[in-house]
Structure 1
């Protein structure tokens, strides 16, 4: 048996996970407009959650900009927010185009 120095730990070989290369659909400086809810719904999954960057194929900076735009649109009631705004089939409930209609 080979003696090892005191305090020496055996290294375990772990497989490095690398993110596969993919083609981004948006340029690096693309502006995600919070006033355009139709384009932001692409980044909202079932139940109203923002899709992760590994699924939406966005870079870290783009994902942060999308999240900020979605949150701003929710605050302005341009997008439905939370699970209460979705029905049992995970579809967004229709928002009336006329405010305060009786």
Structure 2
């Protein structure tokens, strides 16, 4: 019986380590925290509603930073730019503007006609 309790060579197989400290063949789960297409000094302009619509969801809400992958300062810039743009009516405000669900048609133009 071996010293390790009959389990064979522990340096091989699932629980063992190789020359790289056990990292050989493993997939790295490191993801970038922030969006790389915007530099740190990028300014979000309230006069450009086309670029701001990327950060407004289907319900008309501003997407959170964990979903939009923006840093804290960029998220503050986006939220203030969206609010200014809504105030100037460059972006629609409220959920009715973003509602794309079809409305049911009326059966007759005059209801309860006898």
RCO higher in structure (CA 8 A, sep ≥6)? 1
Answering whether residue 83 of structure 2 is matched by residue 80 of structure 1, we say no
Answering whether residue 66 of structure 2 is matched by residue 54 of structure 1, we say yes
- 1:9 equivalent in structure 2: none
User: Taking structure 2 as the reference length, what is the TM-score of the superposition?
Assistant: 0.57
| Matched ranges for 1:28-47 at <5 A | 28-47=40-59
Please list the CA deviations of residues 8-29 of structure 1 after superposition, one character each: whole Å capped at 9, or x if unmatched. Answer: xxxxxxxxxxxx5335221111
User: In the alignment, is the contact (CA less than 8 A) between 1:44 and 1:51 conserved in 2?
Assistant: yes
User: Taking structure 1 as the reference length, what is the TM-score of the superposition?
Assistant: 0.63
Q: Which structure dedicates a bigger proportion of its chain to helix?
A: 1
Q: How large is the Cα RMSD of the aligned pairs?
A: 1.7
- 1:97 equivalent in structure 2: none
CA distance in 1, matches of 2:67, 2:97: 23
Whose radius of gyration is greater, 1 or 2?
2
- 1:99 equivalent in structure 2: none
- Aligned pair count? 71
Q: Give every structure 1 segment of 4 or more consecutive aligned residues whose post-TM-superposition deviation is greater than 6 Å.
A: none
